[in-house]
Structure 1
Amino acid sequence: MLTRTLQIPTADGRADAFAAYPDREGRHPGVLLYQDAFGLRPELEGRARELAGHGYYVLVPNLYYRHGPAPVVELPEHIGEEFRPAVIGRLLPFIEAYTTERFLRDADAYLRFLTAQPEVGAGPVAAIGYCMGAPLAMRTAAAYPGQVAAVAGFHPGFLVTDAPDSPHRLASRLTAEVHFGLSENDMSTEALGELNEALDAAGIGHTTEIYPGTVHGFTMSDTDAFDPAALQRHWDRLLPLLDRALAKS
């Protein structure tokens, strides 16, 4: 496969990004991959490479670009529990500054950039995300229902909140097929019920699944939360979803 480091023009500057795509002629379905809280780093570059090996053009933007290129803070090779509180403490101001309004401006730029790449096919794209990236994938699909045909989120955060624009309240705008893979501690029973009710009412194909024995962050091999079996379950759910929703050229 091929990889590139890119600069995406946005309304507020230029976002650095990583892209991976098949090393063969032709155009490929696009996937917009949103980071977890720790940001764009080798772990997510590896995730993009894996997806590219299955025939997709994968774009992973640095959501914290307003504060500098990735990684915006120094990260240990393995983000163990002894490092996690300090790392999150340094990242929290960037997370809190990333308002919905800023994100929607960025999402427009990311989608326009992704679909303009010569290696990307003319069909719909997918939006997928991890942790904080899961609600961003849902917001993207709700804002661009004609362009986003698949949404997937894993160990999601902030999908169901009290805010008027909580991601779950946007379900009626979706046309995409949706899968959310949750850890056992990601969401209360009541919140999961609200999410399922919203997706049911939207009348779209969807699954929400609690991956047994997992904690938040289970797909990330550079953290203590990593669960190899759950990562494989994630691939077992994600790849068929993409195959169904995106027409490969």
Structure 2
Amino acid sequence: MTSVQGTDVDIPTEDGTADAYLTHPADSEPRPAVLFYMDAFGLRPQLRTMADRLAEAGYTVLVPNVFYRHGRAPVFDLPEFIDTGARPEIFESIVPVMQALTPEASMRDADAYLRWLADCPVAAGGPVALTGYCMGARLSLLTAGTYPERVAAAAGFHGGRLATDSPDSPHLVAEHITAELYFGHADQDPSLPVEQIERLETALTEAGVRHHCEVYPGAGHGFTQADSASYHREGDERHWAALLDLLKRTF
């Protein structure tokens, strides 16, 4: 197993400074870069562990705190094991912060993250790959469509609100995407009902985007997050296989 080196970094943006976690193989040779978009619970030990696993597979991985406007990570006071069923009040502080991150602001930030990776000595040159979880899947899709020349592949897992009726719905960027996409949907996810799954599939197909979308049976929203009650081991293992396969094809 490849040993990795992880460190905290700061990324200048148009709106301030985003704190982030950077991890890469310990030999510090330039490796293909992966921009890792967090879920709504934020940058925390679970996401660092996931990023380290990608680094062990041979990638340089950047996990920005996309909520940096509200403070450095951890932005929220979370228990070690997150169970929103037992503690629904957790979302009372998270939802307003999520809603404050507009598509316009998040894409300004994406430009900063991608520029930072382009200048990073342990990141190989050329387009990067994206992976995102929960709200991060939405950011992954938006980034692939906003900066197509800088994104070679994009994945999203248990994403919500990917294809709504809103005029700024992420699926509307499909016509601009040149990357290969993969989405692993939860089949028990009220934030992505069947009609949105179908709308996303139609948009990607009609735009000629290379893509593969799958619904994971038995998996609920958040199925990749081992520090939460939503964790679904089978779905998580399937996610890792799909993600690493996409990265292998890309790089």
Indicate the TM-score class for this superposition, using the shorter chain for normalisation.
over 0.9
Shift in alpha-carbon separation, 1:147–1:154, aligned structure 2, 3 A:
same
Identity rate, percent: 49
Cα distance in 2 for residues equivalent to 1:163 and 1:210: 23
Greater mean deviation of Cα atoms: 10-19 or 181-190: 181-190
The answer for the alignment partner of 1:136 in structure 2 is: 139
Shift in Å, 1:204: 2.0
The answer for the alignment partner of 1:158 in structure 2 is: 161
* 1:32 corresponds to 2:35: yes
1:113 to 112, 116, 131: 116
Alignment of 1:70-219 (within 5 A): 70-186=73-189, 187-219=192-224
Shift in alpha-carbon separation, 1:84–1:152, aligned structure 2, 3 A:
farther
Higher relative contact order (CA 8 A, sep 6+): 1
Runs of at least 4 residues of structure 1 off by over 6 A?
Answer: none
The answer for the alignment partner of 2:237 in structure 1 is: 232
Answer yes or no: is the 8 Å Cα contact 2:224–2:232 preserved in 1: yes
Shift in alpha-carbon separation, 1:84–1:202, aligned structure 2, 3 A:
farther
Cα distance in 2 for residues equivalent to 1:190 and 1:216: 16
Q: How many residue pairs end up in the alignment?
A: 246
The answer for the alignment partner of 2:62 in structure 1 is: 59
Cα distance in 2 for residues equivalent to 1:230 and 1:14: 34
Cα distance in 1 for residues equivalent to 2:86 and 2:132: 23
Shift in Å, 1:81: 3.3
Supply the AA of the counterpart residue of 2:147.
Y
For normalisation by structure 1, the TM-score amounts to 0.96
2:45 to 26, 33, 42: 42
Cα distance in 1 for residues equivalent to 2:177 and 2:242: 19
Greater mean deviation of Cα atoms: 56-65 or 200-209: 200-209
For normalisation by structure 2, the TM-score amounts to 0.95
Root-mean-square deviation (CA, aligned residues, Å) is 1.1
The answer for the alignment partner of 2:246 in structure 1 is: 241
Supply the AA of the counterpart residue of 1:27.
P
1:29-58, Cα deviation, whole Å (9 max, x unpaired): 000001111010001000100000001000
Supply the AA of the counterpart residue of 2:119.
A
Cα distance in 2 for residues equivalent to 1:109 and 1:144: 12
Cα distance in 2 for residues equivalent to 1:19 and 1:127: 14
> For 1:40, what is the secondary structure of its paired residue?
coil
Cα distance in 1 for residues equivalent to 2:160 and 2:232: 18
Which ranges of structure 2 fall in alignment gaps of 5 or more residues? none
Supply the AA of the counterpart residue of 1:244.
R
Cα distance in 1 for residues equivalent to 2:102 and 2:229: 29
> For 1:146, what is the secondary structure of its paired residue?
helix
Shift in alpha-carbon separation, 1:82–1:167, aligned structure 2, 3 A:
closer
Shift in Å, 1:165: 2.3
